[in-house]
Amino acid sequence: MKIILLGPPGAGKGTQAQLITERFKLAHISTGEMLRTAIRNKTETGLKAESFMDKGQLVPDDVVIALVQERLQEPDCENGYILDGFPRTVAQAEALDTITEIDAVIDINLPDDFLVERLSGRRVCPVCERSYHVELLNGATTCPDDGAVLVQREDDEPKTIKSRLKVYYQKTAPLIAYYKAKGIVHAVDGTQYYKVLGENIADELKAVQ
């Protein structure tokens, strides 16, 4: 199965991608995570991407497409994968069409006020990349899974959140119509508790399998 997870920033794509990859034994491809690793390692891609990411803007299509193209050739992608955060523009979707055929697009819907609240309260583990909300951490400052000190992503600042949402509606939301035309979109309600949402997504995917 080759799946795309679509939805605005803060919709829970990363969390859902982790649940789905464990359940369906797929490779998890998060372009955001790949880019953050590239920045940490100061690679050429990281240097190109950093200034865009800091401002909440999209990294240029050619940089991200090259990254994904290379990643999809790795052996763990042979049994299927889930794309989390890619494609984010119609140009990226068109490039992906030349590489492979996607089986399903999961479109996670939720209103903006949920997103702002989630993103501003989000803390991430720099080791396992899991996200947590401050309210559920009960004052804890370390990852419940591996003990690493949780951090706030630089692009989760209120000012940057606004520009990320704007970019989503301008550049990424048109992909819903793009994939609807192919008849492969499955819309789900992202306001639900994450485990319930995970079950909904699994049901949608079982029907595709």
Catalytic residues: 13, 88, 122, 153, 164
How far CA 63 is from CA of 15, 113, 179, in Å, comes to 25, 31, 23
Residue 53 in the binding site for ligand AMP (CB under 6 A)? yes
Exposed (0-12), middle (13-18) or buried (19+): which is 156, by Cβ within 10 Å?
Answer: buried
The pairing of strands 131-133 and 122-124 is antiparallel
Q: DSSP string of 88-130?
A: -SHHHHHHHHHH----EEEEEE--HHHHHHHHHTEEE-TTT--
Amino acid occupying residue 145: D
Stretch that binds ligand AMP, among 40-48, 81-89, 107-115, 138-146 (CB under 6 A): 81-89
Residue 108 in the binding site for ligand AMP (CB under 6 A)? no
Q: Is 16 helix (H, G, I), strand (E, B) or coil?
A: helix
- Cβ neighbours, 10 Å, residue 104: 20
What's the closest the beta carbon of residue 172 comes to ligand AMP, in angstroms? 8
Residue 132 in the binding site for ligand AMP (CB under 6 A)? no
Residue 88 in the binding site for ligand AMP (CB under 6 A)? yes
From candidates 59, 104, 110, 185, binder to ligand AMP by CB under 6 A = 59
What's the closest the beta carbon of residue 36 comes to ligand AMP, in angstroms? 7
From candidates 58, 110, 124, 143, binder to ligand AMP by CB under 6 A = 58
134-173 positions binding ligand AMP, by CB under 6 A: 155, 164
Of the pair 118, 164, the CB lying nearest ligand AMP is at 164
What's the closest the beta carbon of residue 113 comes to ligand AMP, in angstroms? 19
Q: How far apart are CA 157 and CA 160, in angstroms?
A: 5
19-38 positions binding ligand AMP, by CB under 6 A: 31-32, 35
**Which tokens hold the place of 61?**
């299509």
Residue 131 in the binding site for ligand AMP (CB under 6 A)? no
Of the pair 141, 163, the CB lying nearest ligand AMP is at 163
Q: Can you give the C-alpha Rg of the chain in angstroms?
A: 16
Binding residues (CB under 6 A) for ligand AMP: these are 9, 31-32, 35, 52-53, 56-59, 64, 85-88, 92, 155, 164
